[in-house]
Amino acid sequence: MCHPDRSGRFPAPGTYRIKQADNLKYWEYRPADGEGSGKRVAIITDIYGCNDFYQSFATFLVGRGWTVMLIDLFSDLGELPEVTREAAFERRHKLRDGEVCGNIQRFLANQNVDAVIGFCLGGNYIFELARRNVDARLVAFYPFPAGLPNQDELTPAFEYLESLEAPVTVLAGAQDDSAGRENMARLAEMAKSVPVLDVRVYEGSGHGFLAQLDSEDEQLKKNAEDALDVCLRAIEE
């Protein structure tokens, strides 16, 4: 599981409005009137959907004066019968990845989104959006560059990363056993010759390591804090 619990680093989930556009449902979080910077940021979650972690992360970003759109890919597929990896993957496989990315691409353009942050499955969608040259800052946490099976399968990122023209920031753990340690090493090596790829692979960290903002292990906590700072800087550029 990527993020089962809210991080103590982020505030309690704030208020939002459920909205719909371009065949997508999303939770819109807005700063207090007159306090926003105009920056518009979308979040694509992992397979568990819009849980407390992502709601609080969205609220954290709103605290920076940004309007945040937390994309809800799973509400029409029903609630999880149990919060387990198996149940989440069973629901996830009902998505059509290619179709979803088409909807997200249109959504980003029509909603004038400045930046997109994707986690896990959402990180794979970030790669696909970069392949489509979407005009937004793109940040991927712990994606699967070797691809994920699906009924409307996306081309694995490893097959096109060297030809990317859209900048992408990738934040991953060297010990990510979900996406594959060898894939993380390959991704880091590939980034050395791809100017638009900013890849940070953190030693000691695994999948879902942003949750270690609360860790008592100083190195793991430092990795998570650095990744969060890199993410925020990428959006602010």
Torsion of CA 97, 100, 102, 105, to 10 degrees: -120
Query: Which residues sit opposite 72 in a β-bridge?
Result: 25
97 is catalytic: no
| Annotated catalytic residue, options 114, 176, 198, 226 | 176
Q: Which of 2, 50, 101, 120 is catalytic?
A: 120
Catalytic residue among 46, 207, 229, 231: 207
135 is annotated as an active-site residue: no
Active site residue 120: yes
What's the distance, Cα to Cα, between the start and end of the chain in Å? 31
Three-state secondary structure along the chain?
A: CCCCCCCCCCCCCCCCEEEEECCEEEEEECCCCCCCCCCEEEEECCCCCCCHHHHHHHHHHHCCCCEEEEEECCHHHCCCCCCCHHHHHHHHCCCCHHHHHHHHHHHHHHCCCCEEEEECHHHHHHHHHHHCCCCCEEEEECCCCCCCCCCCCCCCHHHCHHHCCCCEEEEEECCCCCCCHHHHHHHHHHHCCCCCEEEEEECCCCCCHHHHHHCCCHHHHHHHHHHHHHHHHHHHC
Active site residues: 120, 176, 207
